[in-house]
Amino acid sequence: MATRLNWGIIATGGIARAFARGVAHSQQGRLAAVASRTAAGAQAFAAEFGIPRAHGSYEALLADPDVTAVYIATPHAQHVEWVERAAAAGKHVLCEKPLGLTRAEAVRAVEAARRHGVLLMEAFMYRCHPQTAKILEIVRSGVLGEVRLVQAAFGFANPFDAANRFWNRELGGGGILDVGCYPVSFARLIAGAIDGAPFADPVRVSGAVERHPAAGVDTCAAATLHFANGLIAQVSTSIALMQENVARIYGTKAWLLVPEPWVPVRESGATELRLFRGADKEPEIIRLETDRWLYSLEADAFAAALAAGRREVPAMSPDDTLGNMAVLDAWAGVAP
């Protein structure tokens, strides 16, 4: 049996728990260590998931010789620092999105990984799910005709809470960075598929942003992305407004509805795509079954790339990440 990839998890919040459950169900990974800001926090997390070692500091985990790769699950504003420190320690890095608060920050992280020769991936888990591969297959097959429009949304409604990171601008709060990055990445993925490329960057981004009067974070935002191949994408996000979190791909012959684009199934199960052809009112249901957990697919995609000697994961390369961050900057009004 091939040697499993030894993972260390940095931070112990909700997303770290989701990843830990995924690694426990992965084919190529094992949980070797976890780190928290306190020994008690790390020990509790380790006991919950059966992790052999618990570290009371992130530095201690990076010094652990049994850890080969780290999953960074800290708040957004700390991502770049710990990517840089992990890379300097020779650890391969899977970092939660967004990789940085701006493209300029993300460049620092990418350069650190390249300088130290480690694998780096921004953790867009939906990119590793077979549903995404099926969507690309449909787009490339021509069944939709010429794809000209993508609509995608990811938003939710939370009450204002000054203590919550969603409402803290310095911590990367607001919808654009936290979940708006998903529809942007999806649109760029489809734009690339049209041309047979892994992704494409828009030539123009025009956006509208509503900000909280006190916190200054974006509470509701929408943008239009224009691509050189003629595709137009309409994306939206929110932290104070309920949205229909779906994606639609429109072509000249048919259109595809993706009811659950971002979290297809956390555990094993089925997903459905709905293909509407011509004037047909009833869609063709495309059902996909998988016995894999969502976050296990991400962990195994990372492990497979590492085993193959790659320095990027095809599902989400560093160049793809930097292109995505450039769009988020333009949408949010960040100066280049």
| Cα 190 to Cα 201: distance, rounded to the nearest angstrom | 11
Give the mean model confidence (pLDDT) for residues 253-264.
97
How do residues 193-211 score in pLDDT, each as one tens digit? 999 999 999 999 999 999 9
User: Which pLDDT score is estimated for 336?
Assistant: 63
Give the mean model confidence (pLDDT) for residues 71-100.
98
How do residues 6-25 score in pLDDT, each as one tens digit? 999 999 999 999 999 999 99
Q: Which residues are catalytic?
A: 97
142: pLDDT strictly greater than 60: yes
Give the mean model confidence (pLDDT) for residues 66-91.
98
User: Which pLDDT score is estimated for 198?
Assistant: 97
119: pLDDT strictly greater than 90: yes
Sheet of 147-155: strand order equals 204-211, 218-226, 232-238, 147-155, 247-251, 254-258, 269-277, 284-290
> Domain-by-domain residue ranges, the chain?
5-123, 127-292
User: Which pLDDT score is estimated for 103?
Assistant: 98
User: Which pLDDT score is estimated for 2?
Assistant: 61
Give the mean model confidence (pLDDT) for residues 27-41.
97
How do residues 153-181 score in pLDDT, each as one tens digit? 999 999 999 889 999 999 999 999 999 99
Quick one: CATH architecture of 5-123? Answer: 3-Layer(aba) Sandwich (3.40)
How do residues 318-330 score in pLDDT, each as one tens digit? 999 999 999 999 9
The DSSP bridge pattern shows strands 218-226 and 232-238 to be: antiparallel
CATH of domain 127-292: 3.30.360.10
99: pLDDT strictly greater than 50: yes
1: pLDDT strictly greater than 50: no
